[in-house]
Structure 1
Amino acid sequence: MDHLILFILLALLAEILGTIGGFGSSLFFIPIASFFLDFHSVLGITAIFHVSSNITKIAFFRKGFNKKLVIWLGIPAVVFVIIGAYLSKLIQIDILETLLAIFLIITSLTFLIFKNITVKPTIKNSITGGVFSGLVAGLIGTGGAIRGITLAAFNLNIETFIATSAIIDLGIDVSRSIVYYTNGFVHNHYLYLIPFLLVASVVGTFIGKKILTKISEDKFKSIVLILIFIIGLITLGKIIIG
């Protein structure tokens, strides 16, 4: 019982941070859940948790999404998350996590140090961000940081950033949930966690949105990049230690 309470509280914290960062809770939730569940179970439960999380975000930030980015970034992300989810049974996870950690650390530091760097939200850049975020999400359960890097580089406002990210993420999560289920990653004996995680997603998003009302656009972008940098360090540290 104590472990369950701790698990739900940590999931709530992951949801709050994911809302503030704008790229979803899976970046934080996956490392947390891996202390309680096996990796494949983590992939399955995270995908289901994220579906409710993103529906909640869309409800709270529904006025802000960018239709063009949803199409040009979202469709490639959904296609490649399916590919990544199938490949997740075949590729060694440590290699992928190491490459992702290095990418997150270098990219976030670059945008933090050179603050004037921007990436135009062109069709080419949107498709590239969608392909990589979808593929990584399917392989290791979280591609939100890559999508966050892409959207942060586009200099979107807070509402547009979070709403656009949530709509794309919803398509990704529904797609990979189906594939993870067929892969046997969704285990019935863990389904009792879903109602608790549903509550955590709603409460966490609400708290995160309240915090965001007190943050400027520039601070928001810096927070996104700092959180991505921290996740890169944590991911790399977990690989080195473990």
Structure 2
Amino acid sequence: MFSSLDISIGFLLMALLAEVVGTIGGFGSSVFFVPMAGFYLDFHSVLGLTALLHVASNASKLALFRKGLDRKLIVYIGVPSVIFVILGGWLTQYIDTGALKIVLAIFLIAFSLFFLIRKNIVIQPNKTNAAAGGIFSGFSAGLLGTGGAIRGLTMASFNLEKSVFVATSAFIDLLIDTTRTVVYYQNGYIKKEEWVYVPFLLAVAIVGSYIGKKILERMPQHYFRRFSLVLILLIGTLMLFQIDA
């Protein structure tokens, strides 16, 4: 067992790593943060703290990548995302957390393997696919705590300029996370004793986003995208071993 101090330090360092890699890879920090935080906290607490981390994270990204927003994508992807994140968050009350962890682990493994193998997969940039991406990413974010990978893939098909991509994705994510924070709070997932993490998570979000931005400016994106997919695969595999244990 970890002591409370060990948990605090390990938890925050893990959150910082998730924020840096999530910014670089373009998937957002939750795809890394949720499974890694599961080694420290129960699944419902992880959902609550993930939402709080993401609110701070995306506010930071909007400040750092402030070259403009794509209003059409905010409507086509953001609106269905917000609607379905409420549904996903509400359903977490009625689904066994062990089952949710299994679903998340399988999702991470399948997602990473698919895009490592199918490197040139293409999604047509139309309104229907944008809305579908918003629905699935919002529902996944509410139910499993992570939906950025699905939304990132959808937005990538629109070939946006890098800063517009990040700013627009961050704005949509901010809408999703503000909404699910309210839902999780009402569900009792954000406990009083865990509020102590909030100022530290804010600092982690700002520092991690800044470090990720600086690395992203200097290194080829495709290299880090592949690195991110491999890391997602490893995390998903570790989660399955943790569940079996």
Task: Sort the TM-score into its range (normalised by shorter chain).
Answer: 0.7 to 0.9
Equivalence map 1:100-115=2 (5 Å): 100-115=104-119
TM (norm. structure 1) is 0.88
Q: Deviations over 1:171-216 (max 9, x none)?
A: 0100011111111111111101111111111000000000000123
Cα distance between partner residues in 2 of 1:98 and 1:234: 11
> What are the ranges of 5 or more consecutive residues in structure 2 without an aligned counterpart?
none
> What secondary structure sits across from 2:94 in the alignment?
coil
Q: Cα distance 1:232–1:7, how it changes in 2: closer, same or farther (>3 A)? A: closer
Give, in angstroms, the shift of residue 68 of structure 1: 1.7
Give, in angstroms, the shift of residue 155 of structure 1: 3.9
Cα distance between partner residues in 1 of 2:122 and 2:230: 17
Structure 2 residue 58 is matched with structure 1 residue 89: no
Please tell me whether the aligned partners of residues 72 and 123 of structure 1 are also in contact (alpha carbons under 8 angstroms).
Answer: yes
Give, in angstroms, the shift of residue 222 of structure 1: 4.0
> What secondary structure sits across from 2:123 in the alignment?
coil
Q: Of the candidates 44, 50, 54, which is equivalent to residue 58 of structure 2?
A: 54
Amino acid at match of 2:129: N
What residue number does 2:202 align with?
A: 198
Q: Cα distance 1:207–1:236, how it changes in 2: closer, same or farther (>3 A)? A: same
Structure 2 residue 16 is matched with structure 1 residue 22: no
Q: Deviations over 1:54-86 (max 9, x none)?
A: 100111112153222221011101000001111
What residue number does 1:175 align with?
A: 179
Q: Cα distance 1:180–1:20, how it changes in 2: closer, same or farther (>3 A)? A: same
Please tell me whether the aligned partners of residues 26 and 50 of structure 1 are also in contact (alpha carbons under 8 angstroms).
Answer: yes
Structure 2 residue 167 is matched with structure 1 residue 163: yes
- Which deviates more from structure 2 when the two are superposed, residues 215-224 or residues 16-25? 215-224
Amino acid at match of 2:65: F
TM (norm. structure 2) is 0.87
What residue number does 1:67 align with?
A: 71
Paired residues, what number? Answer: 241
Amino acid at match of 2:87: I
Cα distance between partner residues in 2 of 1:232 and 1:68: 34
Q: Cα distance 1:155–1:194, how it changes in 2: closer, same or farther (>3 A)? A: same
The percentage of aligned residue pairs carrying the same residue is: 53
